[in-house]
Every structure is written in C-alpha cells, then in structure tokens.
Structure 1
C-alpha cells in the first residue's frame, strides 16, 4: 500500500493572512505624516530660525534645546515606524538579530493594546492643532506661522491611522489558522477542483 508523503509545515504555517492594502498604506502613511515636523525640528538644530523671530529662536540655540529637538525628531519617527510592524511579518515574529528575544512570536494583544493606547494619546495630543493654528504667535513671523501650521496639521491623522491599523491587525490575527478574520477585499485562496467520482462496478 502506497502512502502519500506530505511536506512538513513551516515555522510560519499558522501565520496570519496578509494585511489588506489599505492597512499597509495607512501604516506607511504614519511615517510620512511625522516626517515634515521632524525635518523642521532638525532645521532648528542646525541653526535655521524656521519661521521664528530672533527673540523666539533664542530659546532653541542652547545645547539642551538642540539635544531635545533632535531626540524628539528621531523618537517620533521611530514610534511611527513601529506601526509598520502591525502589517509586516517582523511584527509577528521578532527578527533573529535582536539579542535574547529574536525569533519569538509576538502575541496579537501585545502589539495591538499598546498601539490602541498610543493612538488615544496621539489623538488627544494633536487634535487641538487646527485650533492652535487660528491664533497668531508673537514669537513667529506671519510666514513662519503659516509654514509651521502646514507642517503640523498632518499629525492630526497620526492617532486615527494607528488605531485603524491596530484594529485591522487584531481582526486578521485572532484566527490565524483559518484566516476567518481576513479584511473585506482580501483575496481568498482558490478552491481545489473537485475529483470526479468513479462509478462503482456491480
């Protein structure tokens, strides 16, 4: 009797289905909405007034202020890039080059809960930005006020984008074996063709 040999399952055989295109786009968009303000702060570090008056820019010329602006720019961009992990394999299984924890599987809630909490904080932090833009500021020139407002307005989207990607990640990873939580629009695997029945001989 001949037995049929099956290939062994790989380490990611039970991984979640691929993220839908809209979630991938939203995850990458988070890094883009943070980038303009990061570049603006780096310009301050390099000595450009970037829209401030001479008196307003004086507070940014100290070493402590420069270090804080640089740290804030890098930290915000890194936090935004973490959102990409919600739609990429390295967000499900940590890369092996990370010391001690590389290769470990990231539980869905361990990624989704911090992302949702962060989205709430980001939404509360940047929601007043349009209101701030309606008032003139004495430490900025008129052109600088307009420029800074344009650069900071995209941050209003940061929190909602993270929340949308986090919910999408949870829905598709809660049933990784069957992909029952796949997003609408995600292509389904083709059905296997039916094998014709062999008539029984009497």
Structure 2
C-alpha cells in the first residue's frame, strides 16, 4: 500500500485530495511547455520570447501553488520550516492558511467557469489543427477545474482539524 507522509490526525481523503491537486495541474503545464517547445500538440502561432516566458512562468507558478496544498496535510503547514526568515519555527496561524486558500479556491472556481464559457470553444478552433490535437488539449485541461474543489475540501479539513485542536 502507498504510504503518504502526513500528520496522523488528517483524514485519509484529505491527504489524497491534497496530493491530487499537483497532479490535476500538471497536464496543462506540460501541454503549455510542449507547445512552446515546438512539439506538434497545437498550431504554432509564433513563439516569441514573451510567449515563452509567459507559458513557462504560468506552468511553474501554477504547479508551485498547487504544491502548497500539501502544507494543509503536512507538518510544515502547522509549524513554518526553520529555514524561512522571520516566521521559521513558529506555528502557522490557522486563518493565515485558511483565508488565502479559500480565496484562491474561489478565484480558481471563477476562472474555470469563465474559461469554460468564454474561451474553450475559440481556443479549440484557434489552437488545434487535428482531432488528435483537440483530444490532447481537452485531456490536458479537463482535470484543471478539479483544483478549486480539491483545494476547498482540503482547506476545510485543515480548518476543522486545527480548530478542534485549539
């Protein structure tokens, strides 16, 4: 059985949800990087330096933020790692973790809704040439909307656990 390092009082479902978040963001980031690398995942629409920086930055920042979800089930989400300046070794205040993550979840939910309604149809027509490219694009972006509810659920579990402990 897979052993996932988490705090002992964290519900198993919350651990699985927290570990799923980086996995649901990864395919879209890899698709973006494959596109700017010139792989035949989409119609190439001129890759200038700005597009490359934007695509790589978006992929890296998205994955980094997704990985922060692990802090809601790991010890470093309760006590800041000692290597961090100013706050290292100090307890993480519950609301200092809960408020930004719930706000982030709400923003992600709004962005997913906006993107699905206003951007997806045009994006598929504009970016892809072949049915295989369309399927790949959809397969890489389909998991992304799960980020918001997974983050919200993990955050609520974190809040309940930390509030009960206090």
Report the TM range for the smaller structure's normalisation.
Answer: 0.7 to 0.9
For 2:103, the equivalent position in structure 1 comes to 117
Match of residue 43 from structure 1: 34
Per the normalisation by structure 2, the TM-score is 0.86
Q: Is the 8 A contact 2:35 2:42 kept in 1?
A: no
Question: Is residue 85 of structure 2 the alignment partner of residue 102 of structure 1?
Answer: no
**Cα offset, 1:156, TM superposition:** 1.2
TM-score by length of 1: 0.71
Structure 1: how far apart are the matches of 2:135 and 2:114? 16
Say which structure, 1 or 2, has more relative contact order (CA 8 Å, 6+ apart).
2
Q: How does 1:31-180 map to 2 (within 5 A)?
A: 31-52=22-43, 57-59=44-46, 61-127=47-113, 132=120, 136-141=124-129, 142-176=131-165
Residue number in structure 1 paired with 2:3: none
- Structure 1 unmatched runs, 5+: 1-15, 178-202
- Residue 185 of structure 1 corresponds to none
The structure 1 segments of at least 4 consecutive aligned residues displaced by more than 6 Å after TM superposition are none
The gaps in structure 2 that reach 5 residues or longer are 1-6
Structure with bigger gyration radius:
1
Q: Secondary structure at the match of 1:174?
A: helix
CA distance in 2 between partners of 1:153 and 1:65 (Å): 23
Greater percentage in helix: 2
CA 1:139–1:45: 2 relative to 1, 3 Å: closer
